[in-house]
Structure 1
Amino acid sequence: MPLSVREQNKSTRYQHIVSAAERLFLDRGLDSVQMQDVANEAEVGIATVFRYFPKKDKLIVAVAIQNLERILPAFEEIAASPKTAYVRLEDVLNYLLEEDQNSPPGNSSKFREAFESYASFTKEPLPDIDDYIEIQKQISNSLNPIIEDGKTDGSIRTDLAIKETLITIINTFGTFVNNVVLKAPISFLEEDIDPHIQQRLLKDILLSYVRPV
């Protein structure tokens, strides 16, 4: 059933507030942003912000969910491709790499790393965190076609535990990409290797592990 005009306006306002909050969180960090800052950025009254998000943590999780939801369609499209399982695995890693390098400046992965660090230090479970976990499960399940084809199409080593190996590779690479993005503002020593070179090297190492000899 189509949404009523009132419901559409409510949904649009909700998304507008979430997007405004995401910009502020990325610019200033999760801890320093106040709800009044979000109201100012979204150009709405503070009462409107609190009507949708009674607590700041609820808004933070809403931003995290919206951020994570952007990945799902891309993973589903990659997984549905007729390419071999190996090439689709490479496409997933390339997507994570390009998301870092093409979003300004690695915003999506930067926020996810900051959010998960924030969530790990909270004393009580964050509101709506189950919804965030559900999106994570959907993303993981979207990879099932790659996993199943990897067992039979000959593009991945047959002596491996396919599911465990592919999920570990994707999680490891995603975590490393996010971590490098978060640490990018820190000054590196002159002899340190450029983070993007490290990312590409790790991708090649992980892919070489699953490639048949």
Structure 2
Amino acid sequence: MKPMDRYELELKKNRENRIVTVLDAAEVLFAKKGIEKTTMQEIADAANLGVATIFRLFPKKEQIAVGIATRRLEKFLELFQNIHSMEITSIEKIEALMDHFLEEFAEGNDFKMIEDFEIYSMLLSEPIEDTEQYKVIYREISHIYAEIIKTAMKDGSIRTDIDIEQSLITLINAFVTFAKKLSIQKNIGFIQLDVAPEKQLILLKKVILDYLMSGMK
């Protein structure tokens, strides 16, 4: 490798490492303070970088939020890919998806981070830039779920007296949306929930599965 090529490669690696460092630091701050209340100076301090460096990498804080949300969404894409590749029935894939969402809800902040990002995006006066990768991943997740739905319409594991496509889209969207809402409530200290969030999601999962398999032997 030529010296100039090696130098450019090192510069690229250093930049990529700094981007990861910034995203990691900002993710912690966003979880604690929220996206809107976190400043670029606070992110720079947490990342042990100069604020000028932060602005060179991410001219706007919104771009950092996009980067973090995209990383979180990539985890969901990997989940959908793995479950879609399993040699199981479509109803078992739907159950596996909900089980994983339950695990993520109990152990991580994926739902909260994505919900925070979506709410933050809606409150901005102008559209966020550099969201193409986020949109690409979102579309890929939708495509994989569409393939699961196609299988469900053929393998007989879901009742056939309903509109399978409409039902699966609606029910999973309802499950994820409810999980996002509970994730936010769980992180608000003064809200006292009558039923534990995890129990609510487990009950909703049972309702969905019972509906999809109602009348089947």
Report what 1:24 is aligned to.
29
Structure with larger Rg: 2
**Given the alignment, which residue of 107, 121, 130 partners 1:128?**
130
C-alpha contact 2:185 2:191 (8 A) present in aligned 1? no
Count, aligned residues: 207
What's the offset of the Cα at 1:131?
2.8
Report what 2:184 is aligned to.
182
Higher helix share: 2
**Given the alignment, which residue of 15, 19, 24 partners 2:20?**
15
What's the offset of the Cα at 1:212?
4.7
**Given the alignment, which residue of 142, 157, 160 partners 1:158?**
160
Deviation per CA, 1:134-168, whole angstroms, max 9, x where unpaired? Answer: 22111111223321210111101123322222122
Q: Where does structure 2 lack aligned partners over 5 or more consecutive residues? A: 1-7
What's the offset of the Cα at 1:133?
2.2
Q: Secondary structure at the match of 1:81?
A: coil
Q: Secondary structure at the match of 1:167?
A: helix
One-letter code of the match for 1:89? I
**Given the alignment, which residue of 194, 197, 201 partners 1:195?**
197
Q: 1:19-168 to 2 correspondence within 5 Å?
A: 19-103=24-108, 107-168=109-170
Q: Where does structure 1 lack aligned partners over 5 or more consecutive residues? A: none
Report what 1:207 is aligned to.
209
| Partner Cα distance (1:55, 1:6) in 2 | 22
Deviation per CA, 1:24-54, whole angstroms, max 9, x where unpaired? Answer: 0001111111001111111111111101110
What's the offset of the Cα at 1:6?
2.5
Percent of matched pairs sharing the same residue: 35
Moved more, 75-84 or 154-163: 154-163
| Partner Cα distance (1:102, 1:6) in 2 | 36
| Partner Cα distance (1:27, 1:162) in 2 | 40
Moved more, 108-117 or 83-92: 108-117
C-alpha contact 1:100 1:109 (8 A) present in aligned 2? yes
| Partner Cα distance (1:171, 1:48) in 2 | 39
What's the offset of the Cα at 1:132?
2.0
